[in-house]
Homo-oligomer: A and B are copies of this chain.
Amino acid sequence: MTHEELFFQITHKKSYLCVGLDTDIRKIPEHLLNEEDPVFAFNKAIIDATSDYCVAYKPNLAFYEAQGVAGWESLRKTLAYIPKTHFTIADAKRGDIGNTSGLYARTFFDPAASGLDFDSVTVAPYMGSDSVLPFLDYSNKWVILLALTSNTGGSDFQRLVVDDKPLYEHVLTTSQQWAGPDRMMYVVGATQADALSHIRTLVPNHFLLVPGVGAQGGSLEEVSRYGMNARCGLLVNSSRGILYAGNGQDFAQKARVEAHAIQQEMEKYLELYLK
């Protein structure tokens, strides 16, 4: 999916919501456990219930891998079920030396090899350029690079100061030599709203993938105020708040209500802050 197409979906849906498919088999409603593939059954219902109100889905790989072979199969079916109108993110935080990153790129971008055909993958920057570039060999596919994350440990290294600037700023500036805003996005945690307006000056045209709204305590209003650009430039993720809005037979309906509420709030912010 191109930058253009993604922005079209955002204006069409009046939403920049990404639904994080962090599907934990220990948390899904009990009645689904009788299904042949409970994780897929849950995801299918969530996708049906929320696709009107979101523009992206982000399966978190850890939740699938923790189920081994069966989890990998649930992931494949889930991805195939997501409508083509929605941007898909493999939240995998990968990154290794060049030839290995090339294989991770095959994993997420080459359905003939792996059965998966994501639009994008999250990548950790620690290993530098040649750990990122192999993902960019696939046309129309995106790298979403970790910049400033929403967890407490994010400060351990990301905010260390190098030449008067925190490390994450070096990640933002150096990585712009590898790809432009048509192929790269950045992860910036919603709990870091104080840093968002400054980050916008460094990457004015890039999309930011913003986790941390909801369960992790970030404010959607602040993220939208400080982070939005002329093409929206935001994908704000919610996982647990939507997935586990209900725990009974009506879990999908409750997820829909929650996703709709976020979309309504986003519609308001698009009117206020789209520059």
Which A residues fall within an 8 A CB radius of B?
22, 24, 60, 62-63, 65-69, 71-73, 76, 91, 93-98, 100-101, 103-104, 106-107, 110, 113-116, 124-132, 146, 149-158, 160-163, 167, 170-171, 174, 216
Contacts and interface: CB of A to CB of B under 8 A. Distances in A.
A108 to B, nearest CB: 9
Contact of A66 (B104, B149, B155): B104
Contact of A149 (B72, B97, B167, B170): B97
A125 B158 CA distance: 10
Nearest to A215: B99
Given A65-B107, A68-B115, A98-B153, 8 more contacts: A62-B101, A66-B107, A66-B110, A69-B76, A124-B127, A128-B152, A128-B157, A129-B156
Nearest to A93: B96
A152 B129 contact: yes
A174 B156 contact: yes
A67 to B, nearest CB: 6
Contacts of A156: 125, 128-129, 174
A100 B22 contact: yes
10 contacts: A62-B94, A65-B103, A66-B103, A68-B107, A68-B116, A69-B76, A93-B124, A124-B127, A127-B158, A131-B153
B157 A167 contact: yes
B157 A114 contact: no
Most chain B beta-carbon contacts within 10 A, residue among A72, A156, A161, A170: A156
A158 B128 contact: yes
A155 B126 CA distance: 9
A113 B68 contact: yes
B162 A104 contact: no
A147 B273 CA distance: 41
A178 to B, nearest CB: 10
B100 A62 contact: yes
B103 A130 contact: no
A191 to B, nearest CB: 11
A128 B124 CA distance: 12
A146 B128 contact: no
